[in-house]
């Protein structure tokens, strides 16, 4: 009985192992390569799959999701003979599991070496300044070359990014000094432009202010002259409307004499001839009104002009 039991146990174990090898569960976004006696048979997709145990074998399991692979810095020589270190990042995806397994031994290593050689060819035709400012151009050129070369490997390169471009330390110092000088130059130019604009605006403001002030003074003078002319016309019209005689005019002239003599600085003042004539007329009128003699009136009337021109006594 014991040998039979042992054989049964061995058979159960073999059946269990066969079941395990027969049923293959492939995760989502994955694929498996099946070989039969060392030859490719088929590709297992995601889900439950049945294979022939001990005859079919799983050669490789491949992740079909997009992969991100960073490559270490690579020294590259630019057109102006400067060595720069460039870090790259590749975003790729396996589209054909069979080609990725049989067309290339290691597609990761192949992509890396292809990226390095392509990068050196592209950077070799650019100077340092263009290399630092043309990342999009370099990325597009890299992606085009890699996508064309890896297509037969069952690989699709989605994106290529330059993570860092590091020039030599001496070049970095020179670039920093140049950038600092450029910033100082731009700051000085902006400051000079600001001062110039401020002076222009100030001059324009002063010019406008002077123009407005002159216009205001001209208008004020015109209004003042117009007012004085209106006053003269009003007085003239009032005088003519009142029809004054020689006596009233003589009296008005006499009232103006104290105003002419006003002021402490007036040492000498001259009576106009019109006032003399007015005094003659007023004297004659008063002589006639008072019944005085003609000789006295004539003496007084004739003596006024002689006494009009006299020096005003100074007031200390």
pTM above threshold 0.85: no
Q: Are 258 and 275 in contact (CB under 8 A)?
A: no
Domain coordinates of the chain in residue numbers? 3-62, 66-167
Q: Are 26 and 49 in contact (CB under 8 A)?
A: yes
Predicted confidence pLDDT, tens digits, the chain (316 residues): 577 788 788 888 887 887 787 888 899 999 999 999 889 999 999 988 888 888 888 888 999 999 999 998 888 888 888 888 988 999 999 999 999 999 988 889 999 999 999 998 988 888 888 888 888 888 888 888 888 889 899 999 988 888 888 887 877 777 778 888 888 888 889 989 989 898 999 898 888 888 988 888 888 888 888 888 887 777 667 766 766 666 666 666 666 666 666 655 555 555 555 556 655 655 655 555 454 444 444 434 444 443 444 444 443 3
Q: Give pLDDT, residue 264.
A: 59
Q: Give pLDDT, residue 256.
A: 62
Q: What CATH class is the domain 66-167?
A: alpha beta
Q: Give pLDDT, residue 296.
A: 42
Classified as helix, coil or strand, 99 is helix
Q: Give pLDDT, residue 93.
A: 93
Q: Give pLDDT, residue 300.
A: 40
Q: Which residue bears the tokens 């192949």?
A: 110
Q: Are 92 and 67 in contact (CB under 8 A)?
A: yes
Query: Is the backbone of residue 245 left (phi > 0), alpha (psi -120 to 50) or beta?
Result: beta
Strand partners, 39: 36
d(CA 232, CA 240): 12
End-to-end CA distance of the chain, in Å?
168
Cα dist from 248 to 232, 242, 281, 298, 304, whole Å? 19, 11, 10, 21, 18
d(CA 78, CA 119): 11
Cα dist from 209 to 195, 197, 212, 214, 221, whole Å? 21, 18, 5, 8, 18
Q: Give pLDDT, residue 99.
A: 92
Query: Is the backbone of residue 145 left (phi > 0), alpha (psi -120 to 50) or beta?
Result: alpha
Q: Give pLDDT, residue 311.
A: 44
């Amino acid at each position: 009985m014991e040998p039979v039991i042992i054989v049964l146990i061995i058979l159960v174990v073999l059946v269990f192992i066969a079941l395990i090898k027969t049923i293959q569960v492939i995760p989502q976004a994955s694929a498996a390569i099946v070989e039969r006696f060392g030859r490719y048979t088929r590709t297992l997709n995601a889900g439950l799959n049945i294979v022939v145990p001990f005859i079919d074998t799983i050669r490789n399991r491949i992740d079909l999701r997009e992969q991100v692979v960073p490559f270490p810095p690579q020294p590259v020589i630019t057109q102006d003979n400067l060595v720069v270190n460039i870090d790259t990042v590749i975003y790729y995806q396996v589209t054909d599991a069979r080609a990725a397994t049989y067309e290339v031994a290691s597609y990761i290593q192949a992509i890396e070496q292809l990226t390095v050689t392509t990068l050196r060819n592209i950077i070799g035709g650019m100077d340092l300044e263009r290399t630092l400012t043309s990342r999009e151009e370099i990325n597009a050129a890299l992606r085009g070359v890699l996508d064309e070369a890896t297509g037969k490997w069952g690989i699709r390169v989605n994106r290529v990014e330059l993570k860092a471009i590091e020039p030599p330390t001496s070049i970095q110092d020179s670039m920093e000094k140049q950038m600092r000088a450029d910033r100082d130059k731009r700051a000085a130019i902006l400051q000079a432009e600001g001062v110039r604009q401020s002076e222009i605006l100030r001059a324009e403001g002063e010019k406008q202010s002077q123009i407005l002030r002159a216009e205001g003074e001209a208008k004020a003078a015109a209004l003042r002259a117009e007012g004085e002319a209106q006053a003269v016309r009003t007085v003239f019209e009032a005088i003519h409307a009142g029809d004054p005689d020689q006596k009233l005019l003589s009296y008005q002239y006499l009232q103006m004499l104290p105003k002419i003599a006003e002021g402490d600085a007036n040492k000498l003042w001259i009576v106009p001839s019109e006032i003399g004539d007015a005094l003659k007329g007023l004297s004659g009128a008063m002589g006639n009104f008072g019944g005085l003699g003609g000789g006295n009136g004539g003496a007084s009337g004739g003596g006024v002009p002689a006494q009009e021109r006299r020096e005003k006594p100074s007031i200390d």
